[in-house]
Structure formats: structure tokens, C-alpha cells
Chains A and B, each alone.
Chain A
Amino acid sequence: MSRVGVDADRCTGHGRCYTLAPDVFDADEVGHSIVLVDEVSGELEAHAVIGEQNCPESAITITR
């Protein structure tokens, strides 16, 4: 199991994560990222990694 986190101070709402991995991330009311599933493994973890790698602000962390 890995833990998914979004640094709210870094996220500016590019929306790449919830576009590419909508089963792990979603948008709050101003378009910033929120984590839908804190603990991920398998396919969900792979999706979370795609979100992490594509974040222009390096706001997403996945702790293994």
C-alpha cells in the first residue's frame, strides 16, 4: 500500500492529475486537487503515479 498526498500550498490547479487519473484525484470547488483514495496499490497506484509524474508543480507525493 502507498499513501497519496497533495501539498495544498504547491497545487495551483493545473488539473493534470484529475484529468489523467480521475479515480485517484478530483477537483475541489476552485479546481485544486483533492485525493479521493489515500491508500493505493496495484492499478490505482499506477494511476496515482501517472498523476504524480505529470504534476507541473511537483505537488503530489506517493509514500511507499
Chain B
Amino acid sequence: MLRWETPVPGVARVAMQDIEVGGCSISKGDRISPMLGAANTDPAEFDDPEVVEFTRNPNRHRAFGGGPHRCLGSHLARLELRVALREFHRRIPDYEIPPGVELKYTTGLRSVEALRLTFAMATP
């Protein structure tokens, strides 16, 4: 899920050396914004990248970036996600997005402005 819905799709970086990426030349000192979300759906790294597969292995996704500036909060984020998803599904195991609802994604961080769900009330 971190691969598919990369929460922070892009990060700001400064090139440390002259390099060419995909036919685009980047000079040392240039400010660039590598798209982690695009890397996470790169068919050169992932077979069937558009398919959500929770047991995908290997799964060398870049949701937390990489190198010296890798997300320091990644371990906490994974734990929070695990707890939040477990508790949500414990309380609301069956739910769906009502037919016809179109999700509006925000710019910057990967999130939706609103998420309408229908689900049955739990019996007391």
C-alpha cells in the first residue's frame, strides 16, 4: 500500500554531481524533485506495477525515500498505519465507497479531500 499510494509523492533534492537521467541532463547544484510515486510504479523495478498486491516480494519501494535523507519517521509511520488499519477494520469490517463518488486528490501530499463511505452500524 505504501508503494501504491505513496503518501509523499515527491521530495526536494540538490544534485551532488552532473548526471543524465532519462535523456535529461542535470547539473551539480541543480534543485530537483524526484517523484517517489513514479519510482514506485516503475515497470523496470516492479512487475505489473499497476496491480495492488499486498504480498509483493521483493518490494523495494521508495515511499520513505532513500539514502542519507531517508524518512526518519518511517518506523513510527509503519506502526501507526498498522494500528490504524487494524483498529478501523476491527470496528468497520465491511464498507464501500458509494457508487458514483469520485475521489478528489489533494496536491502535494497524497490524500483525498473527503472519503465518503457506507457501512453497517455495529450491533451493540
Contact = CB atoms under 8 A, between A and B. Distances in A.
Partners in one complex: yes
B57 interface: yes
B118 interface: no
Interface stretch (B9-17, B67-75, B101-109): B67-75
Interface in A1-47: 12-15, 31
A53 B58 CA distance: 6
Interface residues of B, number: 13
B59 A31 contact: no
A50 B68 contact: no
Contacts of B62: 56
A31 B70 CA distance: 13
B58 A13 contact: no
Contacts of A50: 57-58
Nearest to B61: A56
Contacts of B74: 14-15
Contacts of B67: 12, 57
Interface of B: 57-62, 64, 66-68, 70, 74-75
Given A54-B57, A54-B58, 14 more contacts: A12-B68, A12-B70, A14-B64, A14-B66, A14-B74, A15-B74, A53-B58, A54-B60, A56-B61, A56-B62, A56-B66, A56-B70, A57-B66, A57-B67
